Amino acid sequence: MELLVIFFGAAVVNNFVLSYFLGICPFIGVSNKISSAFSMGLAATFVMVLTAIVSWLIYNLILVPYDLDFLQYVAFILVIASLVQFVEMFIKKMSRPLYRALGIFLPLITTNCAILGLALFIVLRDYSFVESVVFGVGAGAGFTLAITIMAGIREELDLADVPKAFQGAPITLIVAGILALAFMGFAGMIS
């Protein structure tokens, strides 16, 4: 039950993109087409789950016992950067089609604040190992959900007659705002 609360909390109620503003750059940058948005979401989810596992292990097994927790930001960003590199090489070897589908988005994930944010939240909220993994899966699912919905709306938006000054980023932000309002409807689900 506890785990379900964490999962839905991260996925819909406190959606990473729409209520913590993490991962806005890919959310605005890669949400032109549903297919690429979905691939980006999957790639980010994959890295998020791995980050949750590795950063929990590093923080609790290395940094805390040796009293090095002031190094956490440096450690986390290194973990994420190397993890992304590793995942890229692994996918390239294992599955060519998947690599081609995700290829360009993988390096972008390093500077996706949602990933580092995830690691920071895990430390901040003192999650146990299992909770961290569930939190990672939930956050990834939430990111995928938000970016895919956004891409769906933007595909329709291409056909709409938007005033010239609002084309591009401004209208995307306003749509995101309305989407965030809609997601607020989930707020009562978990108290």
Partner 1 sequence: MSSKLSLYKEFTKGIWEQNTTFKQILGMCPVLAVTVSAINGLAMALATTFVLVFSSIIVAIVKKLIPDQVRIAAYILIIATFVTIVDMVMKASYPDLSKSLGPYIPLIVVNCVILGRQEAFASKNTVFRSFLDAVGMGAGVLLSLILLGAVRELFGSGTIFGIQLLPDFYEPMLVMILPAGAFITLGLMMGLFNQIALSNKEKQRKKTIEKYLSTKNSINDPVGV
Q: Which residues are within 8 A (CB) of 82 and not within 5 positions of it... i.e. 6 or more apart? A: none
> Residues 39 to 98: which contact partner 1 by CB under 8 A?
70-71, 73-74, 77-78, 81
The pair of structure tokens assigned to 114 is 């949602």
Among 8, 21, 38, 186, binds partner 1 (CB under 8 A): 21
Determine the Cα–Cα distance for residues 147 and 18; give it in Å rounded to an integer.
10
Residue number with CB closer to partner 1 (5 or 175): 175
The yes or no reply on residue 174 touching partner 1 (CB under 8 A) is: yes
Cα separation, 59 vs 118, in Å, equals 13
Burial class of 146 by CB neighbour count within 10 A (0 to 12, 13 to 18, 19+)? buried
Give the residue with the Cβ less far from partner 1, 101 or 180. Answer: 180
- The tokens for 42 are 């999957």
112 is an interface residue for partner 1 by CB under 8 A: yes
Shorter beta-carbon distance to partner 1: residue 95 or 107:
107
Q: Considering CB under 8 A, how many residues would be counted as binding partner 1?
A: 41
Among 62, 89, 181, 190, binds partner 1 (CB under 8 A): 181
Contacts of 32 (CB under 8 A, 6+ apart): 151, 154, 155
Question: Least Å distance between CB 124 and partner 1?
Answer: 6
- Say if CB 37 and CB 148 are below 8 A apart: yes
Q: What is the DSSP string of 81-106?
A: HHHHHHHHHHHHHH-HHHHHHHTTHH
Select from 190, 191, 188, 182 the least CA-distant residue to 18: 182
Task: Pick the binder of partner 1 from 169, 185, 189, 190 (CB under 8 A).
Answer: 169
> Which residue's CB is nearer to partner 1, number 129 or number 166?
166
- Residue 184 interacting with partner 1 (CB under 8 A): yes
Near partner 1 by CB under 8 A: residue from 2, 4, 25, 104: 25
Residues that bind partner 1 in the complex, under the rule CB under 8 A: 18-25, 28, 70-71, 73-74, 77-78, 81, 110-113, 116-117, 120-121, 124, 163-166, 169-174, 176-178, 180-181, 184
